Homo-oligomer: A and B are copies of this chain.
Amino acid sequence: MDQLTQSEENYIKAIYSLQQKTSSPVGTNDLADRMDTKASSVTDMIKRLSDKKLIQYKKYKGCELTDNGMRTALKLIRKHRLWETFLVEKLNFGWDEVHEIAEQLEHIQSLKLTDQLDKFLNYPKFDPHGDPIPDAEGEIQQREQSFKLNELAMDQSAVVIGVADSSASFLRFLDRHKINLGSSICVKEVYEFDDSREILINDELVTLSAAATSKITVQLV
């Protein structure tokens, strides 16, 4: 079980996340898109990861993480989300500023560091974007049933518990509308023609596009 390069680790994470969405084996082009690279480069990397038994790969049939690959992915996600939490909780970063930095920090190799950080943060269960943080055993806390805000009908009330897009631009958009984790909201109007919604939040009404509401995770209250 030798060290992986940062590049290999980033691929593993990407495969994990695509796998979660589609369940079926991950295609070379999808992975290329996600990694912002070319299909031929992906094929090369896929062979390396397959040699290291982190993924299972049949030519032309896509790839899937092995158990070992899965454990590797969860460790990376754990580190990523712990660091994000650290940056927001301890160093006063905004939730829109931490992803890039965590993308680097997640590659630091030291089991003890991860576990001490976890302890220092008091074993947080969710990161600043509402995503669950795997524990030291790779177990992920399962959430109560949740919805995307665009699934709610008129007059339904809910609490924001996560975002499905951690890009700085989307998060700053939410900041501008004072929407954060824990915000109480209520759907006041649904405009059928474009599926946009008028939302009551902090005693103010804002209209959010379907593109926006589909990226906001909520729990009914």
Interface residues as binary, A106-128 with B (CB distance below 8 Å gives 1, 0 otherwise): 01111011001100100000000
Taken together as a complex, chains A and B put the C-alpha atoms of A101 and B92 apart, in Å, by 23
Closest residue of B by beta carbon distance from A6: B6
Number of A positions contacting B (CB below 8 A): 19
A191 contacts chain B at the CB level, 8 A cutoff: no
B116, A109: Cβ atoms under 8 Å? no
Min CB distance A110 to B, Å, is 5
A18 contacts chain B at the CB level, 8 A cutoff: no
Which residues in B have their C-beta under 8 angstroms from that of A90? Answer: 120
B116, A108: Cβ atoms under 8 Å? no
Min CB distance A141 to B, Å, is 23
B108, A120: Cβ atoms under 8 Å? no
Closest residue of B by beta carbon distance from A87: B113
